[in-house]
Amino acid sequence: QVQLVESGGGLVQAGGSLSLSCVASGRTFSSYAMGWFRQAPGKEREFVASISRSGDSTYYQNSVKGRFTISRDNAKNTVYLQMNSLKPEDTAVYYCNTVRRITDPNALGAWGQGTLVTVSS
């Protein structure tokens, strides 16, 4: 079982940037495709972006394409989410998780505590 710890959230003005990190425990991190998800207040958790096991393929929700970039460092057991041009509607708790493949955005493992991103207008 991979355990996940997200960090990097905070308060930022609209148009600003944040970089999130997710560190995974265990020796099998590179065996998993990874995804970022978010849950806004009063809404269902939704898929944001995913990355293949090697990092050479990525997939994004339409609303974040061109603004967010997912990447990973398998040597550090870490997946990142660079968020630029943030909008108030990006406000949410952000989570990472393993996924079966990048185009199948269903999380496989247990959720971590997430990291809160708040974008002010």
Report pLDDT for 105. 83
DSSP code of residue 42 = T
Neighbours of 73 (CB within 10 A): 12
Q: pLDDT of 84-104, one tens digit each?
A: 999 999 999 999 999 999 998
pLDDT above 80 for 114:
yes
Does 2 have pLDDT greater than 90?
no
Residue 116 pLDDT exceeds 80: yes
Q: Parallel, antiparallel, or unpaired: how do β-strands 10-13 and 115-120 relate?
A: parallel
Q: What is the pLDDT of residue 26?
A: 78
Check residue 81 and give its pLDDT: 98
- The residues facing 69 across adjacent strands are 82
Question: What would the two tokens of residue 15 be?
Answer: 């148009």
pLDDT digits (tens, 9 = 90+) for 28-59: 899 999 999 999 999 999 999 999 999 999 99
* pLDDT score recorded for residue 18: 98
Q: What would the mean pLDDT of 72-90 be, rounded to a whole number?
A: 97
Cβ–Cβ < 8 Å for 39, 26: no
- Across the chain, mean pLDDT equals 95
Q: Is the pLDDT of residue 1 over 90?
A: no
